[in-house]
A and B are shown apart, each in its own frame.
Chain A
Amino acid sequence: MMGGGGGVVIPSFGHGDSCVTGDHAFCWGWVRDHWGDTLGPALWQHVELTLIAVGIGFAIAFPLALLAHRFPRLEQPFGAFSALVYTIPSLALFQLLVPFTGITWTTVEIALVGYTLVILFPNIVAGLRSASADVVEAAHGMGLTRVQVLTRIELPLAMPAIVGGLRIAVVSTVAIATIAATLLPDGLGYPIFLALKEPTPFKTEIYSAGVLAVALAIGCDLLLVGLRRLVVPWARASA
């Protein structure tokens, strides 16, 4: 089940200069040689895995949160359910979906989407609730309809919390997506698995893929901080 099966040519050692064969702490030469066939594609797959998961997760969480905002009684059961989902080990969840959807991207994405829902839903609900009762009352008094209150007052005020939820969701998804490599030969987790399968773990591959994963998480987070500036121009102070 690990990786793509036995037939894969392990690219780790390549043509192997002395740094690689001696497994020194870090070999820039290996990174240069294998950016094109290993690290680059893995990084790109990782970005795809993450974007799809957070995109679908948001598309599901947003309407659900609107519903829970309109009918507060729905929130409690969903909260309890999501707390339970959050305790499921990712390694186990990927495997448990295999009988239903096979060893496919669908399986990986269902699991990743599940984890993003747990983060996005409560954040969006909390955001929608951040408009003070007085403000909403005043808006009703001015004759705004319920939809207008939502789009002109509650949603703009919810933006900081929504972007905050997206930040956590993206960063955690980047992290969890490395585990997808237990199922598929995709994402930044895969080079790490290959490196661990060598007779002695190949350090350069572990470090380079690991640094890329962490850098991807930080990069996404910074992008969302930038997005926050755009959608919440009135709250420039703290990031």
Chain B
Amino acid sequence: MQRAEIVKIINQFLAEEFEISESALVPQALLIQDLGIESLDFVDIVVIIEQEFGFKATREDMLNVKTLDDMYNFIASRV
């Protein structure tokens, strides 16, 4: 899967499901501080990763995902 496709899927999910403004979805955005994602939301991010990319991320994996770019990189490393 191309990185551009990963970016598109994740951004679309964050915009539609989490109702985050698309203009805020820049790679360096901090998930918690800038995008307002809270701990419970990571549970749903794990679900969407499994649905869209076919692998099971763990809560521990998520601890290292601080920025949107971290998330793209993490998914790219697993697909």
Q: Do A and B bind each other?
A: no
Interface positions of B (Cβ within 8 A of A): none
